[in-house]
Chain A
Amino acid sequence: MAHRYRTLLLGTITFSIFLLIWQLVIMFSPTVFLKDAGPIDSILALVKLATKGDVEGISLFDHTVASVLRVLAGFSAACLTAIPLGILMGLRSEIYEGAKPVLEPLRFIPPIAWIPLAILLLLGFSRYVFLIWLGAFFPILVNTIVGIKAVKPTLIEVAKVFGAKKRQIVSKIVVPSSLPEVVAGMRIGLGIGWMCIVAAEMIAPEVTGLGKLILKSAQLFQIDVVIAGMIVIGILGLIMNETFLIFERRMFKWRREIRV
């Protein structure tokens, strides 16, 4: 218990220092636009966003739902493609080696660099799905391949000694043993997808989405609203990550360690 109180106390101190620095930056900043963007102003702006909506009357809820739906759609697409492909490439290294010349360079193009192309090639919702898919795909793919390759050879021999067929070795040994790695990849992929959505929404023409909210407010110099939007983005990202972590700890309690 003492330990709990100490963490709580430490957390409170760090948070207070953070708020103080924020306030100081606002007070001493040379620009006039930041004058109304302190912690209290931003919280008030957040309340107003939640209750009355933004300048165009679009509520915070609508912005949030728009962003979350786009991310979930792109993320699902990434899981549905990256996991089967990762399993295949993990099992058959010749497929992995064959795909490498295409995959490896693509992997290092940030999804944000794809935004102009996405805007030209795709329309509306599919644009976001594509960009989120790009962002989430590679972490999930790479983790799945690693998870599949990391299976302990002894466990495969256990199955072989019982006369297991290839299919059984894959379904009963290889896939379950790779699951923690796969789910960790999903968590990372979701995080990256969440980062991409904000950038994508800033550039695309749709009027909803947290990214659009931020950009629009910035153009009107409502910096308190910008910060309110940022707070929502941060909290939602945190919730997604924590949900995954809780799920991982539950599901993989047979594992000794779960990394953060």
Chain B
Amino acid sequence: MNENVNVKVSIKNVSKAFSKLQVIDNISFDVVEGQFVCIVGPSGCGKTTFLKMVAGLEAPSSGSILVDGFPPNPKNRNIGFVFQEESLLPWRNVYENIRFGLEIRSNKNRKSDSIIEEMIKLVGLNGFEKYYPNQISGGMNKRVAIARALAVDPSILLMDEPFGDLDAQTRWIMHKELKSIHEKLKKTIIFVTHNVEEAVYLGDLVLVFSKRPIKIREVIPIELSEPRDKLSEQFIKYREMAIGLLREELVGI
């Protein structure tokens, strides 16, 4: 990596096994500050496991992960995580859900109110503060989860197939909004998906993971003019390349 860019996340020779099941096999890469990295890989290959290790929820079996130069530990570093499955606290309304991380971090002061207001505006949930998760749509649930993760001003944002269960229309809207959030806040994002189009649309960099045990199959820097057009020839070229790689990985699963 270039000396004068700021490495945010550094993955070095990381492997992970659950007893006998080898999930990740010696991967290394760096994520630069402010970069939007998308990871695509076949289902069940270990993408969630990988993100949890970056969050400090799981320990690697060997190798090292550094975030801002330290092994990740949620107790002393703010980390944003958007989970694959439903993760809002169903007994809390939208406002209280977004406040959750601030409460844990015991920043529950006057400032936290203005942070929450800001987050609500950022994800476009004005007017829905008092609604409970079961009263709002799947897309809105994801917005709340994103707002909750961002409210603690995390040093990295980890997203695990966040839009996997949304319909195509909603997913498309969420893509645009996530892009604009990234432009506004300049957060470092690692975004996991099995949807190649999504990865090429969102990422500065797309990593293609192999099937289990994970190796890095390919690193694809995306050089497209903004705003990206999913129908442009360039876009389709990237997409087809990544799909081709992924398809090779799917053979024999």
Contact = CB atoms under 8 A, between A and B. Distances in A.
Interface of A: 154-155, 157-164, 168, 172-173, 176-177, 179, 252-256
A253 B131 CA distance: 11
A254 B133 contact: yes
21 contacts: A154-B85, A155-B89, A157-B81, A159-B104, A160-B57, A161-B57, A161-B74, A163-B73, A163-B74, A163-B75, A163-B76, A163-B77, A163-B104, A164-B104, A176-B89, A176-B91, A177-B90, A179-B91, A254-B90, A254-B92, A254-B132
Interface string B38-59: 0000000000000010010100
A163 B105 contact: yes
Given A168-B104, A179-B91, A253-B132, A158 B83 contact: yes
A173 B83 contact: no
Given A158-B100, A161-B81, A162-B101, A254 B134 contact: yes
Contacts of B87: 154-155, 157-158
Contacts of A176: 89, 91
A109 B81 CA distance: 49
Contacts of B192: none
Contacts of B86: 154
A166 B92 CA distance: 20
A256 B134 contact: yes
Contacts of A168: 104
Given A159-B100, A163-B76, 10 more contacts: A155-B87, A159-B104, A161-B55, A161-B81, A162-B78, A162-B100, A162-B152, A164-B104, A172-B103, A179-B91
B89 A158 contact: yes
A158 B55 CA distance: 11
B79 interface: yes
Contacts of A160: 57, 74
Contact of B57 (A155, A157, A177, A179): A157
Contacts of B92: 254
| B contacts with A: majority SS | loop
Interface centre among A155, A161, A164, A176, by most chain B C-beta atoms within 10 angstroms, is A161
A256 B105 CA distance: 30
A157 B83 contact: yes
A256 B132 CA distance: 11
Nearest to A177: B91
6 closest A-B pairs by beta carbon, nearest first, are: A162-B104, A163-B74, A162-B101, A254-B132, A163-B75, A161-B81
Contacts of A155: 87, 89
B18 to A, nearest CB: 15
A160 B74 CA distance: 7
A253 to B, nearest CB: 7
A255 B90 contact: yes
Contacts of A162: 74, 78, 100-101, 104-105, 152
A162 B74 CA distance: 6
Nearest to A180: B91
A183 to B, nearest CB: 12
Contacts of A255: 90, 134
Contacts of B52: 157
Nearest to A173: B89
Contact of B104 (A157, A172, A256): A172
A154 B152 CA distance: 19
A155 B85 CA distance: 10
A255 B133 CA distance: 10
Contacts of B90: 177, 254-255
